[in-house]
């Protein structure tokens, strides 16, 4: 066990280095959505080790376009090995703290589809925050971090508000779907 102080807020803090790695990943995978995870020490807020994952959405779409109607330009999906890595990390000393993906040409917002995929039976599927990156043909326009809003929270002060990151320019703001705070 560590003598570290308890985590002062429930949301992780993405390091500048991890954010730079995520932005590079989004630019590399453009015009498809990228996806990955950011890990950090269990007893600290820092999330500093970004790991790029494969977006298998194109494979799923090719196998069954009726079931998986969208391709990787507008959707992402982790493969089984990456989901296993995520689950296993939650039991270890450096758990996944953030799941990230990019939105291509539409802004950094937590869509209804994102929200549905992040939940199981109305609760978070994993105890992580989500970062969405706005990627465009001319580069990255910014990112926003989203955290679960506990049932019964009636104001932002009753839940965590995670800071958005924005390297340049402005981005369109869309309201976060219910139960998730930006």
Domain ranges of the chain: 13-181
> Cα-atom radius of gyration of the chain, to the nearest Å?
16
Phi, psi (deg, nearest 5) at residue 171: -125, 155
Over residues 67-112, the pLDDT tens digits come to: 999 999 999 999 999 999 999 999 999 999 999 999 999 999 999 9
How confident is the model at residue 157, as a pLDDT?
A: 31
Q: Give the HSE-up count for residue 68: Cα atoms under 13 Å, Cβ half-sphere.
A: 16
Burial of 9 from C-beta contacts in 10 A (0-12 / 13-18 / 19+): exposed
Low-confidence ranges of the chain (pLDDT < 50): 1-8, 154-178
Report pTM: 0.81
Fold of 13-181: Cytidine Deaminase; domain 2 (3.40.140)
């Amino acid at each position: 066990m560590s003598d570290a102080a308890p985590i002062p807020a429930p949301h992780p803090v993405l390091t500048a280095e991890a954010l730079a790695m995520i932005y590079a990943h989004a630019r590399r995978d453009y015009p498809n959505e990228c996806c990955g995870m950011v890990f950090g020490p269990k007893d600290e807020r820092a999330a500093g080790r970004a790991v790029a994952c494969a977006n298998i959405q194109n494979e799923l779409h090719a196998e069954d376009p009726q079931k998986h109607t969208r391709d990787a330009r507008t959707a992402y999906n982790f493969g089984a090995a990456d989901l296993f890595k995520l689950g296993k990390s939650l039991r270890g000393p450096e758990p996944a703290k953030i799941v990230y993906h990019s939105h291509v040409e539409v802004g950094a917002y937590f869509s209804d589809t994102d929200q549905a995929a992040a939940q199981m039976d109305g609760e978070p599927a994993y105890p992580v925050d989500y970062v969405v990156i706005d990627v465009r043909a001319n580069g990255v326009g910014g990112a926003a971090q989203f955290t679960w809003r506990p049932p019964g929270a009636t104001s932002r002060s009753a839940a965590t508000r995670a800071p958005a990151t924005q390297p340049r320019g402005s981005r369109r703001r869309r309201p976060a779907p219910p139960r998730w705070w930006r």
